[in-house]
Every structure is written in structure tokens, then in C-alpha cells.
Amino acid sequence: MFNPILENPSPDFDELIRVLKGEKEPTHVPLVELRHHEDIIKLIVEDYMGETWAEVWDDPDHYYRLRVMMYYRLGYDYVASAKGGWSNLPQPKRRMADDTAEISRGKQREWVEEGIGIIENWEDFESIPWDRVEAQTSHYEHMARYLPDGMKIIARTRYFADIFEKLLGIEGMAYMLYDDPELAETVFEVWGQKVLKHFEEIMAIDSIGAVFHGDDMGHKTGTLIAPNDLKRLVLPWLKKFAAVAHANGKPFFLHSDGNLFRSDLMDVLIDDVKIDGFHSFQDIILPVTEFKARYGQRVAALGGVDIDKLVRSKEADLRAYIRNILEVCMPGGRFGLGCGNIVANYIPIQNYFILLEEARNWQAVSYGKHP
Amino acid sequence: MSILEDLYELVIAGRDKEIGGKVQQALDEEFAPDVILNGTLIEAMREVGRRFENGDAFVPEMMIAARAMRRALEVLRPHLTKQGVKPVAKLVIGTVAGDMHDIGKTLVCMMCEGAGFEIIDLGINVSPDRFVQAIQENGAEVVGMSALLTSTMMSMKTTIEAISKAGLRDTVKILVGGAPVTQEFADEIGADGYAEDASTAARLAREMLGIV
């Protein structure tokens, strides 16, 4: 029976990055996830590692130790950062509903407020104490304390997603781009400066080895706003963020949901913004195998296992599907295996373990390397 | 440009502050309300939908056009009622149980309203029983369901089962959509149609009822 927990992992973050940058051929299957849902982390550390769980607000040291240990013992070369936040920013409305995932253990799921955000007009904008709005970074210090040798943290940042989730709302942003473009542009500018400052702070932290910047720019059939508006309002800031990461010797990975492939957006992200890797794949949009064929000489494909397949496939089909991804994507590096989105709490845990098992089997067969 | 051409352009450009006055002007010049609606406003929304499907218009353009359309309908509706013009059909729509995502559903409402449907928007986190009740209460002919997550989209199946159990399956056309939803899934659960975006949903809803 497959045991996902490794007794003596040997993380090598530097090797991971060399492989993802295409600087060397892989000698094992790199594992890459944007993050794991808290319920998944809790399930693994309790049921498979025999630990006692602690919530971050009850015992932060214990919580962050467990978080690091989970990534370590599963064979990751890094720990995906926990969620940070911003102090002195008014809280946006959130929607809560009963979580339908089996392992949700009676919790509620938090949903994005898609209507209007905290800024609807100039009065709202001016009421925010912008000079005191600051990103929280203490979670990086907590995680760094428990990092084993060879392991790093991958930081998580956002920019456009915060604008349409918190600051303006999706509907609010859509109308404001037409009704009050000056206010919209001001919000993009002010928030860009805030996030840039945050980048300058965290990219200098030694225990942070890379950044996974999460900015959903699209939906199933296209981008949320016109590609030219993304190039005008969003991409210049992503370019600045990536430049800060690179100036500190760290890669800039981009997560974006949605179909970015109907225009030249991906080429601009690769050639101008200079992303080092792209995450979030849905087969109905573009399978990761196709992405690797099109862009694999220029940028890393991260993750790739379609969530719907991960949730609903029969075991044999899922194994065959993952093996095909490995066959196509592993050669040449510039690929890390993982879920097409996050390791969500509605993914059956055994199916997630199949992903890990297939990775280990593949590397044992291909490289003679047993973890 | 003729006044109807003006109206058409105002919808596409999303000029909601001007459109009410222009509709009134068209009425004053004795254009029939159904001509204003079907020949101009709905055609304009159809063009917006085409542009969205072609990747030439995006969520903001769709929303401002729908807002202009809604403003035009506010002025036009009493005249349509007087003329005896009815909506093409009633459409009950909601995001399924456990799911709180509504931007996709909201866009579908906008486009379907723009296509001539009367919309009964049940909101988010809608139980199967609530869908059944709404179909019965409103005599709906089309049901739209939206979901964002693979876990919540399974509620679409239970909702269709509830509709069948209530003896209503043959009275409605069921359309599904959302990020994880595929044609394959729609076929698997017995939906009548799958729409990959809001514009396609509006077009399919009419096609399923045999309305050109």
C-alpha cells in the first residue's frame, strides 16, 4: 500500500529551480503546487503523520511547524506559503456557505464577493488610510524557523485579484472602467505601489526562494477584461514585480485561471513580463501537455493535472492520464507535476496520493531513483 | 443615422444615461414597441454576444451593454405590456446548492434578458427543491444552472433528479454552465444544453425553444 509520507526526504530547492528553468534535465519528478487547502494539510498531518493539529490563531509556532513538515514529508522542495493579509485595509464582504467537500468537517467555505468591493467612489478611496496599509509578513518568519536543509519557502502574492476581489469587486471594476476610468486607474496605481513595496521587502528574505504570484485574469473562454486593458493596467505591474524577484535571484511564477490563449497575452507574459513558470491548467482550456508543446522551450509548466479528472476519474484512468502528462512534459525539464489548480479539499485524498505515487513510480522507472 | 440605429449603437456602447430618452423619442415617433425591442434592442445585445464569443468584447463591455438594455426596457416595458408583447419565455436560473459564485450567472441573466426572456433569478446556493418550486410557481420553460467548483457542480445532477421526480422534466429545457462544466458532464447528467459562456447561453436558450 502506498505510503505518501517519506521517512528521509532530501529536498533540494536549488535543483528544483534549475530544472524548472530548463538549466538541467530532471533526475526526479519535481512536485509543484500553488498550495494545499487547510483541510488537506490537517488531514495529512493528523491521519498520516500522527501529529496533533493546531489552528494558526491558537498556536502559530505549532501550526507553521506542521505546515512545513507536511510539505517536507510529502517530498516537496519548498513549503507553499500560508496566506498573508494586509493591515489597516477595510474588510471586503465575504460570502459564506456550508462547505460541500467531504472532509470539510462542518466548516463553511468562504467565497469571493463578486459584486462591489470596498471602493465604489472617490469618497471610499479617500477614506482608506493608504499610508498605513501594509502587508503582513510574520508568517514567513514563522515558517523559516522550521525549514529543513535544502528547503525554501515560495511566497504568495496577488495584485489584480485583490483589485477585483477586495478593492472594487468584479462588477464594480467592470462598471468603473467605463464610468470612472480615472478612479479605476488610480486604484490600479496605488495598489500596484503597495504590492511593489511588499515585493521589495519579501524578495530580500533569504528563506524565500521564489514567488508564486496569483492573479486570475480570465474565465473559461477568455480574459476578464480586454487583453489590451490587461496590458495597460496589470502587466506593467507584473513586470515590475518580476524584475524585483529576478534582481534578488528568485524566479517569478504566475498563477492565473482562465483562457489567456486567445490573444498574444502568454507571449507577452513570457517575453516582456518574464514569468519563469505558469500555473493553472484546465484541460477544457488548454491541457498542460499542449502548453508544454507550445511554450515549453521558454517557460515552465507548473501543475497540470486537471481538477475535474482528479476528482471524478476512476483509478486506472487517472493513473494513465497522469503517466501521459509525465511522458510528455518531463523531458527537457521546465515542468513540475501537481494539480491543475490547488489541492482542493474536495479532491479525494486517495486521488491526490495517486498523483504522488505516479510521480515516485515514474522517477523510479525513468531514473532508478527511489525517494 | 436613424433613431433605431442610434438605439442599437447606444446599447452596444453601454450609454445607459442617454438610452432612456432615445427610447422615448422612438416611441414618440410611433415606432412600435415590439419593433424597438425585437428589431433593435435584442439585435444589439445579440451583437454584443457575438463580439464576446469572438473575443472582441469582454465582461465590462457585456455588463455596460446589459445595463443600457435594462434602462431601455424600464422605459419600454409599460408600452410592451400595452401592446400585448410578452417575453419569449420564462427562465429560472440560479447557482446550485453549496455554490456562492454568481458573476457567471449574473452575466447569463443579463444576456438572456437582452434576448427577450423574463428572468426569475433565484440567486446563489439554490437547493433542488427551490428550483422545483420556482419552475412550478412561474411556469418556467427554461432552467439555467451555474457552478464554479467540481464539488458543487454535482448539485446539478441532484437538481435535475428533483425536477424529474416532481414530474416537470418534460416541461422544461435545462441549460448548465460554469468553470468546471463540460459538454460531457452536461450529457452525463441529462441536461439539454451546455453553454460555455453567457452569450452562448442566451443563444442556446432561444434555440432550444425553437425561437430564431
Nine-digit cell string for A75: 517530498
Q: What is the DSSP string of A272-296?
A: II--SEEE---TTT--HHHHHHHHT
Contact assessment for residue B118 and residue B206, using Cβ atoms and an 8 Å cutoff: no
Instruction: Work out whether the CA dihedral B180, B186, B190, B191 comes out positive or negative.
Output: positive
Reply yes or no on whether the pLDDT at B18 is more than 80.
yes
pLDDT computed for residue A106 by the predictor: 65
Task: Identify the residue whose cell numbers are 425591442.
Answer: B37
* Pairing, β A218-219 against β A134-135: unpaired
Provide the chain B residues 19-48 that lie in CB contact (below 8 A) with chain A: none
SS3 A273: helix
Nine-digit cell string for B174: 435545462
CA–CA distance, B117 with A160 (Å, rounded to integer): 34
CA–CA distance, B112 with B173 (Å, rounded to integer): 14
Reply yes or no on whether the pLDDT at A95 is more than 90.
no
Burial class (CB in 10 A: 0-12, 13-18, 19+), B62: buried
Conformational region of residue B193, where left means phi above 0, alpha means psi within -120 to 50, and beta covers everything else: beta
DSSP count for chain A of H helices, then E strands: 15, 13
Encode pLDDT of A275-309 as tens digits: 999 999 999 999 999 999 999 999 999 999 999 99
Chain A hits for B149, Cβ within 8 Å = 344, 346
pLDDT > 90: what percent of chain A?
89
Burial class (CB in 10 A: 0-12, 13-18, 19+), A63: buried
Mean local confidence (pLDDT), B113-124: 95
Contact assessment for residue B159 and residue B145, using Cβ atoms and an 8 Å cutoff: yes
Cβ <8 Å between A178 and B64: yes
Chain B hits for A308, Cβ within 8 Å = 150, 180, 182, 185
> A99 falls in which pLDDT band (50, 70, 90)?
confident
Give yes or no for B13 touching A (CB within 8 A): no
pLDDT computed for residue A113 by the predictor: 65
pLDDT computed for residue A1 by the predictor: 85
* Pairing, β A335-339 against β A300-305: parallel
Reply yes or no on whether the pLDDT at A112 is more than 70.
no
CA–CA distance, A65 with A68 (Å, rounded to integer): 5
CA–CA distance, B68 with B83 (Å, rounded to integer): 22
Shortest Cα distance from B119 to chain A (angstroms)?
A: 19
CA–CA distance, A130 with A116 (Å, rounded to integer): 20
Chain A hits for B185, Cβ within 8 Å = 308
CA–CA distance, B143 with B117 (Å, rounded to integer): 12
Give yes or no for A147 touching B (CB within 8 A): no
CA–CA distance, A344 with B192 (Å, rounded to integer): 29
A242 vs A365, which has greater pLDDT? A242
Shortest Cα distance from B97 to chain A (angstroms)?
A: 9
Mean local confidence (pLDDT), B187-192: 97
Cβ <8 Å between A114 and B102: yes
Maximal CA-CA distance, chain B: 54
Reply yes or no on whether the pLDDT at B94 is more than 90.
yes
Which of A94, A171, A223 to mutate to probe the B interface, most B CBs <10 Å? Answer: A171
**Residues facing B175 on adjacent strands:** B144, B193
Encode pLDDT of B130-184 as tens digits: 999 999 999 999 999 999 988 899 999 999 999 999 999 999 999 999 999 999 9
Chain B hits for A164, Cβ within 8 Å = none
Mean local confidence (pLDDT), B25-32: 96
CA–CA distance, B160 with A90 (Å, rounded to integer): 41
- The helix (H) or strand (E) run that includes residue A304 is strand A300-305
Vertex B23: Cα angle to B109 and B142 (nearest 5): 25
pLDDT computed for residue A264 by the predictor: 97
Give yes or no for A99 touching B (CB within 8 A): yes
Neighbouring C-alpha atoms within 13 Å toward the C-beta of B107: 28
Encode pLDDT of B59-82 as tens digits: 999 999 999 999 999 999 999 999
